[in-house]
Chains A and B, each alone.
Chain A
Amino acid sequence: MSARTYADFTTQATFEIKKCDVFKLDEGPATQVVLTRDEGLQYYRTMQTMRRMELKADQLYKQKIIRGFCHLYDGQEACAVGIEASINLSDHLITAYRAHGYTYTRGGTVKEIMAELTGRRGGIAKGKGGSMHMYCKHFYGGNGIVGAQGQIFETYNMAALWKLPVIFICENNRYGMGTSVERAAASTDYFKRGEFIPGLRVDGMDVLCVREATRFAADHCRSGKGPILMELQTYRYHGHSMSDPGVSYRTREEIQEVRSKSDPISMLKDRMLSNNMASVEELKEIDVEVRKEIEDAAQFATTDPEPPLEELCNHIFCDMPSLEVRGTNPWAKLKSVS
C-alpha cells in the first residue's frame, strides 16, 4: 500500500498537445488541455483493460478456443477511449470489424465480449455474432465492412447536403490489410477527402489529442454546422487479423519503434507520473486488478456453455409470432421466435 496519501497527488495538470492539421476550418482543437487525476486514472484503467483483453484474445485464438476472424485493437486504444471521453453514451456509434475496443467503451463488459469471442451463450450477442458482430445500446457493431470507397462519398454528400450531425472517423493505421496506404490511395490526406466537409488530422496515439479533437468535432456537430471528418493517425501492433503475422508488409523494427516511442498507455503513464498525478504503485495496483478481471472473464468465456440448439432459428424477424423455419431437409421443421 502506498505510503503517500491522496492529498499528496496533483489533482489536475495542464498539458501541451500536438496541434491538429485542419481542413476547411478557421480554427482547430485546443492545444492546451487539462487532465484531472480521476480522468487520468480512468483512461489508464480503460486502455489497460482493452490492451489486456486483446492480448488474452490472441492467446485464446492460438489455443483454437476462438475461431473464425479476429481483428485485434491493441495499439489503437487511445482512439476508442479518447472518442468516448468526449461523447455521451446516448450518442450513436457504428464501426467496422476491429470492434472489440468500441464494444467495451460503449458499455459491453469484458466478460460478455470474451464469451462472444468464444461463442458461448453468455456472449454479448448470445454467441451468434462472433468477433465482428457485437452490439449494445447505441452501438451498432461490428460489421464486416469492406472498403466501400464509393459509398463513403455518397454518404459525405448526403450528410453535407442535409447538415447531419455526423463525425466521420478514419482510424488510419497505415495499412489496409497488407497494403500500405501509399499503395492504395491516390491521396493519403484522408482528412481532406470529404472535399466540402471540414476535417481534422489527429495524433491517434495520444488519448488527450483524440479527446480534444472529438470535443471540438462534437461541438461542431451539435451547434448545427453539419458533418465533420476526423482522421486519427494510429497503429495496430497485431497483423490485420489473427491469420496475418503482420510482418510481411512492414518491419519488426517499425512495430518496435512505435511501441517504444508512441504507445498510448505508456504516454499517459509517463505524463501522470512526471506530474505527480499518480504513483507507480497505484498504477501497478490497477494493472493487477485489470489482470484479474481479464482472467475471470477468460475463465467464464471458456467454461460457459455454447448456445442451446433451440436458439438456432431465433431472431430472424422482429415482432413476428412464432415462425416455422426449414431445416437441412424437408422433414426438419424448426421454430423461430422473435
Chain B
Amino acid sequence: MAASLRCFLRSGKNTVSALQRRDFHRSAPAAVQMTVRDALNQAMDEELERDERVFLLGEEVAQYDGAYKVSRGLWKKYGDKRIIDTPISEINVLLQAGLRPICEFMTFNFSMQAIDQIINSAAKTYYMSAGLQSVPIVFRGPNGASAGVAAQHSQCFAAWYGHCPGLKVVSPWNSEDAKGLLKSAIRDENPVVVLENELLYGVPFEMSEEAQSKDFTIPIGKAKIERQGNSITLVAHSRYVGHCLDAAAVLAKEGIECEVINLRTIRPMDVETIETSVMKTNHLVTVEGGWPQFGIGAEICARIMEGPAFNYLDSPVTRVTGVDIPMPYAKILEDHSLPQVKDIIFSVKKTLNI
C-alpha cells in the first residue's frame, strides 16, 4: 500500500485523488503503466489520425519502425504518404506550406547538420514575414547523453535551441510529459523542438486516465511541481527530474524537504513557478545534463537575479551540471561526467550550509 501510494505521489498526483481512486462505487479510473516510447508513439498516432496534414519524416522511421522504435507500427497504419523514410541527410527538412511535418532526428547531435534550416528557415520566418508565413513544424528526437556513445553522440542541445527567439523548446521527463507535450507541439502553429531522452524510452511510468485520452495535452510554457517541500527548490528537466526525486527521497530522511520542479518547457521558460517556489524555500539548486557555460542553470540564475525572488535567497543559486568536457567513452569516465544523485545531495547540503 505504501509503495503504491509513493507511486501515486511520484507521478504527481496528490493524496486526495489517490484516495478518490479507491472508491469502488463509481467506475474507478484506471491508471496504466506506459513507457515513454509508447507514449510518444501514441501521441503521434493520435495526431496523425486527427489531422491529415500531419506527417512524419526522418531516417528509418518507416520500414525500419524507427531507429529507436518510437514510430513502430505507424508506417503499416498510415503508409508511404504520411510516414516517410529520408536518406541519411539531415538537411532534408521540408517546409511545405499547409502541411504539418514532424521531423525526427536520429539524435539531436545530427541536427547540427540541419541547424541552419531549423534556426534560419523555421524559427525566424514568421518574424521576417511580419506574420505572413507561419511554420508549424516539430523537430523531435533523443537529446543528451546515452550510454557509451562517446563524444559526438552525447551532447545536450537544450541551451543551443533555448537561445533562439521564434523556437519553442520542450523537454519531457515521464510518459505523461512525453505524450502531452508532443501533442501540444504538433498542434502548435510554431516550430517546436522536442528534446526526448533515449535512456527514458524504455522506462514505464504511470499514465492517469486523463492522460490516456485522445485529447490530452500539456500546455507548452508551464512547469510542474513534482514534489512539494519547504527546505529548498530543485529545478531540472528531462532525466534529471528523476534524479532530483531520488535525491529528495534520501534527503527527506534527514528532515530536508525538497520541492522538485519539472521544467517541462525550456523556452518559453516558466520562471514564475520557480520564483514562487524560491520565495517559499529561500534556496535553489538547478540540475541539468548539459555543460555549465551558458546553460539552462545559468539562465535560471540570471532570471532569478532579475526578479522578485532574488531578495528571498539565503544563499547563491547552485548549478549542478555535466562536467565541462567532451563525453569520454570509458564507463568510469562517463559516469563521472554527468550529475549523479550523490552530486545533487552534496550540492543541496552545501547550499543549505549543512
Q: Does A25 belong to the interface (CB within 8 Å)?
A: no
A147 touches B328 (CB 8 A): no
> What is the chain A residue whose CB lies nearest that of B337?
A312
Residues of A within 8 A of B113 (CB): 146-148
User: A148, A307, A329: which contacts B350 (Cβ < 8 A)?
Assistant: A329
User: CA–CA, A104 to B320, complex, Å?
Assistant: 41
Min C-beta distance of B110 to chain A, whole Å: 5
Q: Does B190 belong to the interface (CB within 8 Å)?
A: no
Within 8 A of A (CB), among B319-341: 319-326, 328-333, 336-340
B64 touches A179 (CB 8 A): yes
Task: Find the residue from A149, A329, A330 having the highest chain B CB count within 10 A.
Answer: A329
User: CA–CA, A331 to B351, complex, Å?
Assistant: 11
> What is the chain B residue whose CB lies nearest that of A306?
B332
SS of A interface (majority): loop
User: A146, A179, A329, A334: which contacts B343 (Cβ < 8 A)?
Assistant: A329
Q: What 1/0 flags go to A170-205 for Cβ under 8 Å of B?
A: 000000111100011100000000000000000000
Residues of B within 8 A of A336 (CB): 325
User: A69, A127, A329: which contacts B330 (Cβ < 8 A)?
Assistant: A127
Min C-beta distance of B117 to chain A, whole Å: 11
Q: Does A93 belong to the interface (CB within 8 Å)?
A: no
B318 touches A309 (CB 8 A): no
> What is the chain B residue whose CB lies nearest that of A120?
B330
**Segment with Cβ contacts to B, from A156-164, A225-233, A281-289, A320-328:** A320-328
Contacts known (A68-B148, A133-B150, A133-B151); A326 close to B330, Cβ less than 8 A = no
Residues of B within 8 A of A325 (CB): 323-325
Residues of B within 8 A of A307 (CB): 328, 330, 332-333
Min C-beta distance of A220 to chain B, whole Å: 29
Residues of A within 8 A of B63 (CB): 178-179, 249
A328 touches B332 (CB 8 A): no
B343 touches A177 (CB 8 A): no
Q: Does A165 belong to the interface (CB within 8 Å)?
A: no
Chain B contact residue count (CB 8 A cutoff): 48
Total A-B pairs in contact (CB under 8 Å)?
Answer: 153
User: CA–CA, A287 to B89, complex, Å?
Assistant: 41
B330 touches A334 (CB 8 A): no
Residues of A within 8 A of B292 (CB): 326
Q: What 1/0 flags go to B116-155 for Cβ under 8 Å of A?
A: 0000000000000000000000000000001111111100
B336 touches A119 (CB 8 A): no
Min C-beta distance of A238 to chain B, whole Å: 16
Contacts known (A178-B63, A179-B59); A68 close to B330, Cβ less than 8 A = no
Task: Find the residue from A131, A306, A307, A312 having the highest chain B CB count within 10 A.
Answer: A312
B320 touches A312 (CB 8 A): no
B332 touches A176 (CB 8 A): no
B150 touches A129 (CB 8 A): yes
Q: Does B11 belong to the interface (CB within 8 Å)?
A: no
Q: Does B60 belong to the interface (CB within 8 Å)?
A: yes
User: CA–CA, A307 to B331, complex, Å?
Assistant: 9
B329 touches A129 (CB 8 A): yes
Min C-beta distance of B108 to chain A, whole Å: 12
Min C-beta distance of B328 to chain A, whole Å: 4
Q: What 1/0 flags go to A300-319 for Cβ under 8 Å of B?
A: 00000011010111001000
A68 touches B64 (CB 8 A): no
User: A68, A127, A178, A312: which contacts B325 (Cβ < 8 A)?
Assistant: A312
> What is the chain B residue whose CB lies nearest that of A305?
B332
User: CA–CA, A200 to B318, complex, Å?
Assistant: 59
Contacts known (A144-B153, A177-B88); A130 close to B329, Cβ less than 8 A = yes
User: CA–CA, A184 to B87, complex, Å?
Assistant: 5
Q: What 1/0 flags go to A122-166 for Cβ under 8 Å of B?
A: 010101111111000000000110111110000000000000000
Q: Does B91 belong to the interface (CB within 8 Å)?
A: yes
Q: What 1/0 flags go to A63-85 for Cβ under 8 Å of B?
A: 00001110000000000000000
Q: Does A88 belong to the interface (CB within 8 Å)?
A: no
User: B90, B321, B339: which contacts A147 (Cβ < 8 A)?
Assistant: B90
B324 touches A150 (CB 8 A): no
Residues of A within 8 A of B59 (CB): 177, 179
Min C-beta distance of B322 to chain A, whole Å: 7
> What is the chain A residue whose CB lies nearest that of B332?
A306
Residues of A within 8 A of B87 (CB): 147, 149, 176, 179, 184-185
Min C-beta distance of A111 to chain B, whole Å: 16
User: B110, B149, B321, B328: which contacts A312 (Cβ < 8 A)?
Assistant: B328
Min C-beta distance of A84 to chain B, whole Å: 25
Q: Does A274 belong to the interface (CB within 8 Å)?
A: no
Contacts known (A128-B329, A306-B332, A328-B343); A177 close to B64, Cβ less than 8 A = yes
Q: Does B246 belong to the interface (CB within 8 Å)?
A: no
B331 touches A119 (CB 8 A): yes
User: CA–CA, A328 to B153, complex, Å?
Assistant: 20
Q: Does B347 belong to the interface (CB within 8 Å)?
A: yes
Min C-beta distance of B56 to chain A, whole Å: 15
Minimum-distance CB pairs A-B, first 4: A68-B148, A130-B329, A147-B88, A119-B330
Q: Which residues of B contact A (CB under 8 A)?
A: 59-60, 63-64, 67, 85, 87-91, 106, 109-110, 113, 146-153, 292, 318-326, 328-333, 336-340, 343, 346-347, 350
Known: A143-B152, A312-B323. 6 other contacts (CB 8 A): A69-B150, A128-B151, A148-B113, A249-B63, A331-B347, A332-B323
Q: Which residues of A contact B (CB under 8 A)?
A: 67-69, 116, 119-120, 123, 125, 127-133, 143-144, 146-150, 176-179, 183-185, 248-249, 306-307, 309, 311-313, 316, 325-332, 334, 336
